[in-house]
Structure 1
Amino acid sequence: MSLAAYRHLLRSARIAFSGDVHVLSAAQNQIRQTFLENRSLDSSGIQAAIRHAEDVATILRENVVQGQKIESKGDEHTFKLRIHEHTERGDNDSVLTAGSGGGCGCK
């Protein structure tokens, strides 16, 4: 089970950081180091660590979007976002209803 979580996390990092060798390498090293540190956990700790790894994998795969600067004019910069097939796309219902007395002071 931990091996599956490890592989899932590595795949998600490859998806999230595709094309950015430096960040991908750092993420892979961090994943490897964290799993090595968690080798001595008891069974309940291992289960919690596996859940955490799966949650992180989901966030990396669905919520991390890379931006690449493609143009700069003075203080203005243009970025291209790499949105892929796994990127979560909401329907914005929560944004549309946010003005109904939320914490921002909007009415």
Structure 2
Amino acid sequence: MSFLISSAHAAEPAAGAMDPGIFNILFLVGFGLIFYFFMWRPQAKRAKDHKNLINSLTKGDEVLTAGGIIGKVIKVSDDYVVLEVCEGTQLNFQKAHVAAALPKGTIKSI
């Protein structure tokens, strides 16, 4: 009887059986692709759009800051922007804190 047991242990694996190492590699590659398409790529696009917004700021633009302050751009320097939030009130902000550009006339309509 023992000769049957040794034959069973020496049998070849079934055809089409996947090696567990390959499965792990495919799982990691799949997870990496999901991470790229759902997390990294959209964040990179938002960062690129924000950089373009900051670089395109000009005098007279109406903007919204990250803190929720709406103002009109009075002066633009390398790192800072001066906003007029109401008549005679000017505030300095870092360019990075400008969240969005608003359509012309937004401040008057509020």
Provide TM-score, normalisation by structure 2.
0.28
**Bigger CA radius of gyration:** 2
Provide TM-score, normalisation by structure 1.
0.29
Bigger strand share: 2
Bigger helix share: 1
